[in-house]
Structure 1
Amino acid sequence: MESVEVFTTEGKGRGLKAQKEFLPGDVIFAEPAYAAVVFDSLTHVICHTCFKRQERLHRCGQCKFAYYCDRTCQRAAWLNHKNECSAIKRHGKAPTENIRLAARILWKMEREGSGLSEGCLVSIEELQNHVESFGEDEKKELRADVESFLEFWPPHCQQFGMQLISHIFGVISCNGFTLSDQRGLQAVGVGIFPNLCQANHDCWPNCTVVFNNGNIRSLPQKIYSFLLPSLAQKKTPNSIFLLKTGFSPCYLKKISSDALTNTEGMTPNPPSADMVKEVIQFSKDTLEKINEARMEGQYHEVVKLCRDCLKKQEPVLGDTNIYLLRILSIASEVLSYLQMFEEAADYAKRMVDGYLKIYHPNNAQLGMAVMRAGVTHWHAGLIEAGHGLICKAYAILLITHGPSHPITKDLEVMRVQTEMELRMFQQNEFMYYKMREAALKNQKIQVMPEPSNENAPSLFHKKE
């Protein structure tokens, strides 16, 4: 079963009740998942044990639902999959991820009892569920989940009361942590980590959580989690502070009401509240259209929607507004996919500039955004800016992900490559672009005479 590590991002570990002084990137604790499942949409491409993406996975011969890297992963999963396997066969199909996760939690409680499991500081029953604060739509979804669960739950297994079942779904809703694949680039599943659930929310926290080769890491120095679970637990006198969403709730509230453009030297009068409200609604509507277009693979339509939305947003919304940043992120991502790198780089830079005003310097989500912007600039031929952004991203992810994480290793390779290319660019800009053009076309280099009497220096040197 995969696990997580909690790291500090702040030198002295603010608020941490420990005798040692933590350094940025130190692991405070690592915790295995109490229970975890793969997302519904990825069940056939992600290993159900290690959550790694593999090209060829082996399917469970019994339920035909679960997939594994090999027999090692399949054997490791059997304790948690055994009951699930027979239940899926009896039910005729696999239920949704929430039902499967709730079932795995209750099967574990059936095996081990409802008290504290090994290594857990709090039992599942003691976790907060916040069911009492659910809105009508959430309550309706909860009732539907409970009904689906009762249809799936085998009659021969231990029967649990409705109150406990509802509690489990509430815990999943407000305490579930998303899990990433081995490269950390895609959310592939959801799990429950009881100890991690006890960490307090803080808008400028001292720890982060990273799913790192089977570990959730926590770092000393104020950090944010790049994982995307629900809002944090109620405040308790714990000493670790995490931000469990991409943006803090208080910040989201602030940018919703403080959505005006920075008016320094730009416009004499700020936009009216009605105009802001109109643009926010237009942004929401556009995001829905973008999602539909992306699902249909209409990427040029996505670009058009983003450009039109940005024209409406730019005179009204501030550069840290969440809707503006979201559109910039999508535009950069899709344009990069379409290999329109120069425009993508411009949007990526604006997105990073906004993130730098929001996030702590050692923020994992900031690091990922800077990395993407660096790669985009690199592909656009903007080697100086690209190398600088890649170096910045590498420095952040060394802390948030650690040196052994696949993304950090990839960034190290990119840093070395862009450093070499930057030296080439600085020595002979003309030769650099000719080599780049040839490499992109996968052709032999045919260098035309440069409009200069100077001979081109030797540019390639074996790196020591």
Structure 2
Amino acid sequence: MENVQVFDSPGKGRGLRATRELWAGDIVFSEPGLAAIVFDNMADHVCHSCFRRQQKLHRCAQCKFAQYCDRTCQRAGWNEHKLECGAIKTYGKVPNENIRLAARLLWRVEKEGDEVSDVKLTTLDNLEDHVADMPEDDLKELKVDIHNFLDFWPRNSKQHNVDYISHIFGVINCNGFMVSDQRGLQAVGVGLFPNLCLVNHNCWPNCTVILNHGNQSAVNSMFHSQRRIELRSLGKISEGEEVMVAYVDFLNVSSERQRLLKQQYFFDCTCTHCEGHIKDDAMMGGLEEEGSKPSEEQVKEVTEFSLQMLEKMEKARLDAKYHEVVKLCRECLKKQEPVLADTHLYMLRVLSVLSEVLSYLQFFEEAAGYARKMVDGYSKLYHPNNAQLGMATMRGGVTHWHAGLIEVGHGMICKAYAILLITHGNTHPIAKDLEAMRMQTEMELRMFQQNEYVYHSMREAALKNQPMNMMAEPVAENIKSLFRKQ
């Protein structure tokens, strides 16, 4: 933690500031989790030790709940699971994810203590719980969780009073960090990283946080490296400057971001972008061509229509009616394109859905066009080193590559690689995947530049001899918020 120190941030309470100059891609600090668990709805599909998604997992013979890739992962996860395993057997059922995480946190503290040290800048006791700020419905759920926790908590473990248990649940609610799968593509669990909780929010941050699962592939669990978060700098940070991350996705107008932050994290955002409503006009504005633009009434009408259509698309997507999704998207775009700006939030959401579903249905050329428009819009709104921009650019590049549009595809993959090297680092699985794609597309691009006919002939022959695999089935948008709301 030598790159940061705790200080009193004006109007924000405690924060962290840099103790030396940092540059884009630098790791500000790295921190192993205090505890982490797999989500309830992912418990049968994700290894409870390495958080890798697997088709076939091995169930714990004792509690019949925890699942692992193999015996190596089971041994690696036994320290965290041992007390939980016994408690589940005694309780007779598996409690919800909040209770499981709270129990793991308390067992960890009971075993190792909770003192501040050179690598531990705060403690569980000192983290904000915001229980007093919770609305009535959330307080009712909290009371149910506390009641069930007391039934689950073993009698031979240290007993805690209701106020302290309430504090732990409040900390989880405000500060739980989403844990992704090994590829970093889907949130599969939640964990607590106390030092990260000291990093304050800014809608246009100078840092990003990424989960690094470490090396979980060694045959002997002794050689597994720890799962940890890495706080990475997005650009130059001067000595003494506060390090900040975005708790919510920037792709919302300032009033909506402020509402989400107030609802989820109980504070009023006063960052420059919120106070100045920066980029709000671009996100909700009309199309401006040759000095003329549609009226406010037209923009409002199409915006409301788009919102209704997005709800229909989501329903059709959940029902796996993908051709219906495509039909709805095309109908919506037909109304949007003459009226809305190419950076309008609802147009970008429609383009995202349409490009993903068309890719799944193997209509790559059409999907590529929509993906390109989406990435162009994102590029005008996001910070140039934003991880979401990098992921969208990667998706667009792969779609162009599948479509045989190798020049654009290679360019987008290179751009995505440059962004994700900063946000994820060169050892992250996504960066490794992108490096392999970059090398492959570069080789194909050289072949294309030498002889287009030969390139397309060879590509067509390869596709005929190799059955086209279906793309991953479209799922809901990746969870964009940094921290998890119950």
Using structure 1 for the length normalisation, give the TM-score.
Answer: 0.81
| Alpha-carbon spacing, 1:89–1:134, altered in 2? closer, same or farther (3 Å) | same
Residue ranges of structure 1 left out of the alignment (5+ in a row) = 7-14, 224-236, 445-464
CA contact (8 A) 1:198 1:238 kept: no
Whether 1:71 and 2:71 are equivalent positions in the alignment is yes
- Tell me which residue corresponds to 1:345: 368
Using the alignment, how far apart are the partners of 1:282 and 1:133 within structure 2? 36
- Tell me which residue corresponds to 1:218: 231
- Tell me which residue corresponds to 1:94: 94
**How many Å apart are 1:404 and its aligned residue?**
1.6
Any idea what SS the aligned residue of 1:393 has? helix
- Tell me which residue corresponds to 1:241: 244
Using the alignment, how far apart are the partners of 1:39 and 1:396 within structure 2? 29
Using the alignment, how far apart are the partners of 2:146 and 2:333 within structure 1? 42
**How many Å apart are 1:37 and its aligned residue?**
0.6
Whether 1:298 and 2:301 are equivalent positions in the alignment is no
Using the alignment, how far apart are the partners of 2:341 and 2:162 within structure 1? 47
**How many Å apart are 1:346 and its aligned residue?**
1.7
- Tell me which residue corresponds to 1:177: 177
Whether 1:320 and 2:321 are equivalent positions in the alignment is no
CA contact (8 A) 2:33 2:229 kept: no
- Tell me which residue corresponds to 2:18: 17
- Tell me which residue corresponds to 2:473: none
| Alpha-carbon spacing, 1:295–1:155, altered in 2? closer, same or farther (3 Å) | farther
- Tell me which residue corresponds to 1:414: 437
**How many Å apart are 1:180 and its aligned residue?**
1.6
**How many Å apart are 1:316 and its aligned residue?**
4.8
- Tell me which residue corresponds to 1:229: none
Using the alignment, how far apart are the partners of 2:155 and 2:333 within structure 1? 55
CA contact (8 A) 2:26 2:232 kept: yes
CA contact (8 A) 1:58 1:67 kept: yes
Using the alignment, how far apart are the partners of 2:159 and 2:125 within structure 1? 16
Using the alignment, how far apart are the partners of 1:171 and 1:397 within structure 2? 30
CA contact (8 A) 1:199 1:238 kept: no
Please point out which of 361, 379, 395 is paired with 2:402.
379
Any idea what SS the aligned residue of 1:372 has? helix
- Tell me which residue corresponds to 1:452: none
Using the alignment, how far apart are the partners of 2:465 and 2:291 within structure 1? 46
Any idea what SS the aligned residue of 1:218 has? strand
**How many Å apart are 1:304 and its aligned residue?**
2.3
Using the alignment, how far apart are the partners of 1:118 and 1:149 within structure 2? 32
Whether 1:365 and 2:388 are equivalent positions in the alignment is yes
> 1:359-387 deviations in whole A, cap 9, x for unaligned?
22112111111000000011111111111
Whether 1:271 and 2:284 are equivalent positions in the alignment is no
Residue ranges of structure 2 left out of the alignment (5+ in a row) = 5-15, 214-226, 258-276, 468-486
CA contact (8 A) 1:22 1:220 kept: yes
CA contact (8 A) 2:203 2:246 kept: yes
Whether 1:134 and 2:134 are equivalent positions in the alignment is yes
Whether 1:82 and 2:82 are equivalent positions in the alignment is yes
Is 282-291 or 62-71 further displaced after alignment?
282-291
- Tell me which residue corresponds to 1:109: 109
**How many Å apart are 1:279 and its aligned residue?**
4.8
> 1:422-450 deviations in whole A, cap 9, x for unaligned?
12222222222221111111179xxxxxx
**How many Å apart are 1:389 and its aligned residue?**
0.3
Q: Which amino acid letter does the alignment assign opposite residue 17 of structure 1?
A: A
**How many Å apart are 1:329 and its aligned residue?**
1.5
Q: Which amino acid letter does the alignment assign opposite residue 418 of structure 2?
A: A
Is 394-403 or 118-127 further displaced after alignment?
118-127
CA contact (8 A) 2:203 2:248 kept: no
CA contact (8 A) 1:336 1:344 kept: yes
| Alpha-carbon spacing, 1:96–1:38, altered in 2? closer, same or farther (3 Å) | same
| Alpha-carbon spacing, 1:307–1:222, altered in 2? closer, same or farther (3 Å) | farther
**How many Å apart are 1:117 and its aligned residue?**
7.6
Any idea what SS the aligned residue of 1:22 has? coil
CA contact (8 A) 1:200 1:238 kept: no
**How many Å apart are 1:353 and its aligned residue?**
1.3
Please point out which of 442, 458, 461 is paired with 1:438.
461
Using the alignment, how far apart are the partners of 2:234 and 2:459 within structure 1? 40
> 1:313-349 deviations in whole A, cap 9, x for unaligned?
4455443333332222222111111111122112211
Using the alignment, how far apart are the partners of 2:170 and 2:306 within structure 1? 31
Please point out which of 443, 446, 452 is paired with 1:429.
452
Please point out which of 352, 355, 361 is paired with 1:329.
352
Any idea what SS the aligned residue of 2:421 has? helix
Q: Which amino acid letter does the alignment assign opposite residue 259 of structure 1?
A: M
- The correspondence of residues 53-64 of structure 1 with structure 2, limited to 5 A, is 53-64=53-64
- Tell me which residue corresponds to 2:43: 43
| Alpha-carbon spacing, 1:392–1:271, altered in 2? closer, same or farther (3 Å) | same
Using the alignment, how far apart are the partners of 2:331 and 2:133 within structure 1? 38
| Alpha-carbon spacing, 1:438–1:320, altered in 2? closer, same or farther (3 Å) | same
| Alpha-carbon spacing, 1:256–1:136, altered in 2? closer, same or farther (3 Å) | farther
Paired residues, what number? 416
Any idea what SS the aligned residue of 1:209 has? strand
Alignment RMSD (CA, Å): 2.9
- Tell me which residue corresponds to 1:261: 286
The percentage of counterpart residues that share the same residue type is 59
Please point out which of 412, 417, 420 is paired with 1:397.
420
Using the alignment, how far apart are the partners of 2:183 and 2:336 within structure 1? 34
| Alpha-carbon spacing, 1:322–1:96, altered in 2? closer, same or farther (3 Å) | farther
| Alpha-carbon spacing, 1:136–1:281, altered in 2? closer, same or farther (3 Å) | farther
CA contact (8 A) 2:371 2:396 kept: yes
Any idea what SS the aligned residue of 1:124 has? coil
Any idea what SS the aligned residue of 1:48 has? coil
Q: Which amino acid letter does the alignment assign opposite residue 234 of structure 2?
A: Q
Using structure 2 for the length normalisation, give the TM-score.
Answer: 0.77
**How many Å apart are 1:147 and its aligned residue?**
3.8
